[in-house]
């Protein structure tokens, strides 16, 4: 069990509080096109304002690669945050992030005021966890709060380095929720525990498959990576996605499941087509075939009807379900049926349902099932590493209770 101090365990009145948020939002022509991440950060920010802290926010945005890029400035975030909070968020526009504007703004702060620093990745040291930038950030604050789970698997200045120079380092509400759901679901699940893994590549999920097999009761495999498993069983998979270098690994995992007495479910039928849709949402002719009859010249792009029913059935009796990765090319309406069926099964169950970030989070939200899930993780890579059982530097850096 991970037991970290959170914003509820500290008193910030009159103190300068640096909060690492995840404001890595999509921008188009300087306008924010999806503000989910801003909205998700509000509870922690509001709590610190209400407690009388001087709230200094920081985040990265995109990949400026260590130099100021005007199109990746956080200026539009300050504008939108001011509207969402109903009070001014002062933007400190320093290309070096901690510069004269930031220092002056922080110096002039009254309790309950908010300042936003420029994109932390304008500094080359940020992603290298360099000492100078960590010290610069620490010089602005008395307390550090990490609420950015999306970067928790990386050791950067603004989430790990800074904690070495600040006495009090805690997690915000978003991070706390990720630890409660993702961390504890895997380490201490209410059983039966069903894990569903999809997505394209086996290689991305090697350690996740192995770790979850030890923790769950049933492991369901869908998406492109299922066909490497089917090929490992000696089946003809046509033009379907395959990672030939991982065939032995798939055989090992099937043997591991059997040895541990775990159920490992693979597709029994698939939706196949002659060519991948181009563009991705273009109309496409498909047929539903048994996995024993995949035509040599066709590619499997979604789980079939029988498989969808089989997977939905496996979820019905579960008490905890973790899902990472879609069942097929969900961006195409014709190839989204498998992913929709799984999402619907999760929406209908009383189990604790946890969506492990990335494409599955996008799928669940796009398909309109988001509000039916217990928890949708905000991290892609970070949630995967959590599911692998790895210690995340951004979480580890916070003070223990």
Write out the binding residues: 22-24, 37, 60-63, 121, 154, 205, 331, 357-360
Strand partners, 302: 271
Burial string for 112-130 (b: 16+ CB within 10 Å, else e) reads ebbbbbbbbbbbebbbebb
Strand partners, 56: 18, 115
Is residue 201 among the annotated active site residues? yes
Q: Active site residue: 172, 328, 358, 394, which one?
A: 358
Cα separation, 357 vs 362, whole angstroms = 8
Cα separation, 4 vs 307, whole angstroms = 41
Among residues 50, 49, 58, 59, the alpha carbon closest in space to that of 113 is found at: 49
Among residues 251, 253, 222, 226, the alpha carbon closest in space to that of 237 is found at: 226
Q: Active site residue: 52, 66, 112, 381, which one?
A: 381
Write out the binding residues for ATP: 205, 331, 357-360
Give, in degrees to the nearest 5, the angle at Cα 202 between 188 and 1: 15
DSSP character at residue 399 = P
Is residue 224 among the annotated active site residues? no
Write out the binding residues for substrate: 22-24, 37, 60-63, 121, 154
Among residues 160, 109, 108, the alpha carbon closest in space to that of 137 is found at: 160
Q: Active site residue: 46, 90, 201, 305, which one?
A: 201
Q: Active site residue: 4, 15, 16, 37, which one?
A: 37
Please report, to the nearest 10 degrees, the dihedral formed by the alpha carbons of residues 246, 247, 250, 252 taken in order: -100
What is the CB neighbour count within 10 angstroms for residue 254?
17
Is residue 381 among the annotated active site residues? yes
Among residues 46, 75, 25, 73, the alpha carbon closest in space to that of 145 is found at: 46
Q: Which residues are catalytic?
A: 37, 201, 358, 381
């Amino acid at each position: 069990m991970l037991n970290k101090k959170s914003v509820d365990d500290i008193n910030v009145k009159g103190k300068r509080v640096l909060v690492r948020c995840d404001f890595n939002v999509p921008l188009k022509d300087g306008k924010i096109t999806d503000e989910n991440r801003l909205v998700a950060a509000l509870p922690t920010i509001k709590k610190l304002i209400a407690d009388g802290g001087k709230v200094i926010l920081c985040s990265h945005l995109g990949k400026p690669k260590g130099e100021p890029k005007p199109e990746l400035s956080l200026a539009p975030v300050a504008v939108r945050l001011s509207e969402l909070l109903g009070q001014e968020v002062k933007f400190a526009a320093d290309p070096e992030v901690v510069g004269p504007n930031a220092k002056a703004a922080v110096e002039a702060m009254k309790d309950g005021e908010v300042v936003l620093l420029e994109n932390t990745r304008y500094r080359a040291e940020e992603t290298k966890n360099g000492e100078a930038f960590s010290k610069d950030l620490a010089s602005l604050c008395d307390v550090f709060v990490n609420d950015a789970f999306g970067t928790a698997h990386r050791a950067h200045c603004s989430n790990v380095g800074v904690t070495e120079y600040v006495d009090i380092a805690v997690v915000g509400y978003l991070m706390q929720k990720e630890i409660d759901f993702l961390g504890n679901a895997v380490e201490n699940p209410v059983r039966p525990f069903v894990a569903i893994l999809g997505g394209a590549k086996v290689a991305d999920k090697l350690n996740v498959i192995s770790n979850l097999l030890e923790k769950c009761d049933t492991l369901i495999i869908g998406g492109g990576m299922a066909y490497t498993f089917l090929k490992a069983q000696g089946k003809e998979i046509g033009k379907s996605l395959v990672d030939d270098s991982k065939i032995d690994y798939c055989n090992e995992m099937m043997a591991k499941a059997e040895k541990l007495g775990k159920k490992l479910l693979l597709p029994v039928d698939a939706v196949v087509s002659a060519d991948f849709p181009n563009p991705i949402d273009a109309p496409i002719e498909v047929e539903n075939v048994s996995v024993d009859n995949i035509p040599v010249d066709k590619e499997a792009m979604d789980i079939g009807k029988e498989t969808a029913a089989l997977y939905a059935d496996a979820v019905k009796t579960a008490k905890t379900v973790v899902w990472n990765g879609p069942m097929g090319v969900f961006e195409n309406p014709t190839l989204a049926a498998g992913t929709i069926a799984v999402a619907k099964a999760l929406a209908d169950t009383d189990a604790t349902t946890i969506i492990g970030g990335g494409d599955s989070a996008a799928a669940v939200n796009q398909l309109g099932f988001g509000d039916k899930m217990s928890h949708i993780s905000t991290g892609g890579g970070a949630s995967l590493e959590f599911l692998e059982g790895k210690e995340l530097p951004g979480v580890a850096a916070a003070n223990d209770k």
